C-alpha cells in the first residue's frame, strides 16, 4: 500500500469521528446545501453509459447501441477531451458506431465556449438519439461547454429519452463533481476551478482506470473533503448503465462504490458485472459486495478478464495492454509418448491471434491467486469454448508483475492443452 493510500484509509476512518465531534460542539457547517447535494440521482429520463476506459467489449458497445435506437441511432460524438482538432470522414472514433449499424454518426467539436453557445453549433444535438464522449483530458470539455447551449442540449438529449455515454475522461465529466480535472496532470484529484462536471449524474464523483492503474483508493481524499458525495470508481473494460436511480454493472472487471450506506466499516466495496446499485438509497440491490482487502486479487482478475476479452475479439491492441513488455507464452502438450513444451514470443502470439478467424472464448475456473509484493501467480482450470462447445481444456498458469502505474501485467503464461475433455 502506498503512503497516499494509507493516508486516505486513515482519513476514511477518522472522518466520521471528526464530524461527530464538530456536531457535538455545534461547529459543523450548515447542512442545507450539503443535504441538497447529497441527493444522488441519474437522469429522470434517458440513460447513461459510463465506461472506465480501456478497450470496450461487445456487451458495452451493444448496450449503448440498443439504448441509442439500434439501426435508427443518430449519434453525435464529442471528441473535445482529446488533442485532435480536425476529423476526417474516416476518423476511427466514428467507425465503431458506423460498423455497428448506426443510421447517422456526426462529429461535434469546438474549443471556444462562444461557438458552443450558438444555435448553429448545437443543431446536430437537436435530432440526436445518443451522444458519445471519448477519452482524453476532461477539463478541456468543461472549459468548452459548461454554461453553454451545448450543455443544455446535452441534457435535452436525456430529457427526450436518449443516451449519453463516454469512456475515461468521457466518464468522469458526466458526474456533477469532476475528479482529475487539473490542467497540470491527471494525478491531481481535486482541482479548484475544474471540479464542475456536466451533471448528468448528480451528487457523485466518477473515477476511471481504477484497477488497471492502481487508483482504487484515490477517491478517498475526495470523499473526506466532500462527505456528501457518492464515489464511483470504474475499471477498464467495465461500465455502469444508469437509468433513473439504478446503476447496473456490465463488462469484464469491477466497480468500486465509496461512501455507501451498506458498507459497514469498509470505505468502499466492489461490484461486478450483473450487480446493481440503488443510487438514491446508496445500497447494493443485486449481487454480493467484495471488500477492498481483495483489491490486488480484483486487479489481477481484471487484467486476466481484459486479456480474455481481447483474445475473444481478436483485439491485439487490447491484449497487448495486459502484457508485460518481456512477456512469454508456453504451451505444454502431449505428443504420443512424449511431452512437448512450445515457447512463443509475444509478437508471434499476437500475430497468430490477429490472423485467426475462429470465434472462441477462454474461461478459467476457481483460480488460485497468490500475491507477494510486486509478483503474483494464478493457477486455474481452463476451457476454450467455440460457441457452446468446449473445444479444448487444460490448466493455465499465469505469472504477473505489478506495473509502474500500480496495476498488474502478465509476465508469463503457460498452459496445457487437452483436446479430449471427456465431455462428449
DSSP per-residue codes, 344-370: EEHHHHHHHHHH-----EEEEEEEEEE
pLDDT recorded at residue 130: 98
Is there a common fold for 3-290 and 297-416? Answer: no
Mean pLDDT in residue range 127-153: 98
Position 19 scores a pLDDT of 39
CA distance 292 to 295: 5
For the domain made up of 3-290, the CATH class stated in words is: alpha beta
CATH of 297-416, one of 2.40.240.20, 3.40.50.150, 3.40.50.2000, 3.10.450.50: 3.10.450.50
Q: Is the pLDDT of residue 104 over 90?
A: yes
**Residue 235's closest CA among 72, 376, 46, 405?**
405
Check whether 132 has a pLDDT greater than 70. yes
CA angle 49, 42, 284 (to 5 degrees): 85
In the chain, where are the structural domains located?
3-290, 297-416
Q: Which helix (H) or strand (E) holds 316?
A: helix 316-321
pLDDT digits (tens, 9 = 90+) for 272-291: 999 999 999 999 999 999 98
Q: Is 225 left (phi over 0), alpha (psi -120 to 50) or beta?
A: alpha
Q: What is the mean pLDDT of the chain?
A: 87
347-371: pLDDT as tens digits: 888 888 888 777 788 888 888 999 9
Answer for the pair 52, 239: CB distance below 8 angstroms, yes or no: yes
Amino acid at each position: 500500500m502506498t503512503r497516499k493510500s494509507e493516508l486516505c484509509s486513515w482519513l476514511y476512518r477518522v472522518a466520521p469521528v471528526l464530524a461527530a465531534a464538530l456536531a457535538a460542539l455545534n461547529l459543523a457547517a450548515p447542512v442545507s446545501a450539503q443535504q441538497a447535494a447529497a441527493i444522488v440521482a441519474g437522469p429522470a429520463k434517458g440513460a447513461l453509459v459510463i465506461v472506465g476506459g480501456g478497450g470496450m467489449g461487445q456487451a458495452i458497445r451493444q448496450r449503448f447501441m440498443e439504448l441509442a435506437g439500434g439501426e435508427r441511432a443518430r449519434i453525435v460524438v464529442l471528441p473535445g477531451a482529446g488533442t485532435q482538432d480536425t476529423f476526417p470522414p474516416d476518423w476511427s472514433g466514428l467507425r465503431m458506431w458506423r460498423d455497428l449499424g448506426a443510421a447517422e454518426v456526426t462529429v461535434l467539436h469546438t474549443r471556444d465556449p462562444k461557438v458552443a453557445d450558438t444555435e448553429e453549433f448545437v443543431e446536430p444535438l437537436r435530432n440526436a438519439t445518443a451522444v458519445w464522449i471519448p477519452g482524453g483530458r476532461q477539463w478541456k470539455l468543461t472549459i468548452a461547454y459548461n454554461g453553454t447551449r451545448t450543455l443544455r442540449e446535452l441534457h435535452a438529449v436525456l430529457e427526450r429519452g436518449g443516451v449519453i455515454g463516454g469512456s475515461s475522461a468521457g466518464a468522469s465529466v458526466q458526474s456533477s463533481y469532476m475528479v482529475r480535472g487539473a490542467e497540470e496532470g491527471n494525478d491531481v484529484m481535486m482541482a479548484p476551478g475544474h471540479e464542475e462536471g456536466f451533471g448528468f449524474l448528480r451528487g457523485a464523483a466518477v473515477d476511471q482506470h481504477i484497477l488497471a492503474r492502481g487508483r482504487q483508493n484515490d477517491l478517498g481524499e475526495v470523499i473526506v473533503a466532500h462527505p456528501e458525495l457518492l464515489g464511483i470508481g470504474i475499471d477498464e473494460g467495465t461500465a455502469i448503465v444508469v437509468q433513473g436511480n439504478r446503476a447496473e454493472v456490465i463488462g469484464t472487471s469491477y466497480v468500486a462504490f465509496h461512501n455507501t450506506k451498506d458498507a459497514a466499516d469498509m470505505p468502499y466495496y466492489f461490484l461486478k458485472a450483473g450487480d446493481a446499485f440503488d443510487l438514491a438509497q446508496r445500497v447494493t440491490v443485486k449481487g454480493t459486495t467484495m471488500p477492498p482487502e481483495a483489491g490486488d486479487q480484483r486487479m489481477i482478475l481484471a487484467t486476466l478478464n481484459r486479456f480474455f476479452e481481447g483474445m475473444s475479439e481478436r483485439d491485439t491492441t487490447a491484449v497487448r495492454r495486459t502484457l508485460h513488455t518481456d512477456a512469454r507464452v508456453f504451451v505444454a502438450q502431449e505428443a504420443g509418448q512424449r511431452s512437448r513444451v512450445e515457447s512463443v514470443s509475444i509478437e508471434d502470439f499476437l500475430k497468430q491471434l490477429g490472423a485467426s478467424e475462429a470465434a472462441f472464448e477462454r474461461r478459467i475456473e476457481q483460480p488460485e491467486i497468490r500475491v507477494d509484493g510486486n509478483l503474483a501467480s494464478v493457477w486455474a482450470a481452463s476451457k476454450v469454448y467455440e460457441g457452446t462447445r468446449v473445444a479444448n481444456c487444460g490448466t493455465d498458469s499465469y505469472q504477473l508483475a505489478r506495473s509502474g502505474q500500480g496495476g498488474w501485467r502478465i509476465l508469463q503464461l503457460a498452459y496445457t492443452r487437452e483436446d479430449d475433455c471427456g465431455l462428449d
